[in-house]
């Protein structure tokens, strides 16, 4: 079934098509939301709201772009205009982040059986936190261009700007992230003393990592050690893989829209 046929079937009220649509776009929306918002709870809330917006506006989809592109456009518009998050209110910046990393006087290696899993949790959480140091426009440009690898002619439509302006945003975001990594990250620059493994003990001590409720690393999946481009920004972020939500969005959405005419574009 083509995307056009799938959407037509959804609008006609076909339950199986509706479920297929949700299963197709939900991972895309959750991943961009988690990268943009950093906390799993905020990302899951945003994902549900974005999915409802997509579903209730399916009749407005004109098939002139891919469904994924249109879904990203809806998601981006929602995320960019979302009220300020708790981590944004904390005024996290590259300077304050750098000072925190430097404040760990005597880092200690962590060598328990779950070290690989917790190191992945530490590394992923840290690199996603760096994105919070960017303003929202630069953050979204970096996510779309550097992490999702979308071409500028596609990404510019998603964020409603020109290809040239998008490339400028992407270049600036890469410079800011690159400068921070170069000055602080031991994976990116071996001369730096910061290592993800050595940050695990203090993170556990202050509750930033909770063994029983990991935010980024999946405890039920085998940890896959990937080769990284140690001097590459894309290599640092490529190692994240795809994030999986713990929520049953289809069940939640069915409850939310049970009493609505969800495909009425005028509502």
Tens of pLDDT along 121-159?
999 999 999 999 999 999 999 999 999 999 999 999 999
CB-based burial of residue 204 (10 Å sphere; 0-12 exposed, 13-18 middle, 19+ buried)?
Answer: middle
pTM equals 0.85
Q: Once rounded to an integer, what is the mean pLDDT over residues 238-264?
A: 65
Which range in 60-64, 84-88, 244-248 is most confidently predicted, on average pLDDT? Answer: 84-88
In the chain, what are the domain boundaries?
Answer: 3-256
Tens of pLDDT along 183-225?
999 888 989 988 899 899 989 999 999 998 898 886 544 334 4
Tens of pLDDT along 6-58?
999 999 989 899 899 999 999 999 999 999 999 999 999 999 999 999 998 99
d(CA 37, CA 92): 13
Cα 138 to Cα 95, 171, 190: the distances in Å are: 17, 9, 27
Helices (H), 185-231: 196-205
Torsion of CA 167, 145, 233, 101, to 10 degrees: 90
d(CA 53, CA 46): 11
How many whole angstroms from its chain centre is CA 251? 22
Both tokens of 62, joined, read 């004109």
DSSP states along 163-176: HHHHHHHHHHHHHH
117 neighbors 217 (Cβ within 8 angstroms): yes
Cα 161 to Cα 73, 80, 137: the distances in Å are: 12, 13, 11
For tokens 């059986």, the residue is: 113
d(CA 25, CA 18): 11
N-terminal to C-terminal alpha carbon distance within the chain:
28
Q: Is the pLDDT of residue 239 over 70?
A: no
253 neighbors 29 (Cβ within 8 angstroms): no
Q: Is the pLDDT of residue 226 over 50?
A: no
């Amino acid at each position: 079934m083509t995307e056009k046929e799938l959407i037509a079937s959804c609008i006609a009220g076909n339950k199986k098509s509706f479920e297929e649509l949700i299963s197709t776009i939900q991972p895309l929306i959750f991943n961009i939301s988690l990268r943009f918002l950093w906390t799993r709870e905020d990302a899951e809330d945003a994902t549900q709201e974005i999915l409802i917006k997509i579903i209730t506006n399916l009749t407005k989809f004109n098939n002139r772009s891919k469904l994924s592109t249109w879904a990203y456009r809806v998601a981006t518009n929602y995320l960019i205009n979302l009220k300020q998050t708790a981590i944004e209110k904390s005024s996290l910046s590259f300077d304050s982040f750098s000072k925190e990393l430097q404040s760990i006087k005597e880092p200690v290696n962590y060598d328990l059986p779950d070290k690989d899993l917790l190191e992945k949790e530490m590394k992923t959480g840290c690199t996603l936190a760096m994105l919070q140091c960017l303003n929202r426009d630069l953050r979204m440009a970096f996510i779309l261009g550097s992490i999702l690898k979308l071409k500028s002619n596609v990404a510019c439509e998603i964020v409603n700007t020109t290809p040239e302006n998008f490339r400028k945003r992407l270049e600036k975001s890469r410079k800011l992230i690159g400068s921070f990594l170069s000055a602080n990250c031991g994976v990116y620059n071996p001369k730096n003393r910061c290592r993800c493994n050595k940050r695990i003990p203090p993170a556990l001590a202050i509750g930033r990592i909770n063994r029983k409720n990991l935010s980024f690393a999946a405890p039920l999946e085998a940890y896959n050690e990937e080769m990284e481009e140690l001097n590459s920004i894309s290599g640092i972020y490529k190692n994240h893989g795809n994030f999986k939500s713990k929520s049953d969005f289809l069940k939640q959405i069915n409850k939310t829209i049970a009493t609505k005419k969800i495909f009425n574009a005028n509502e």
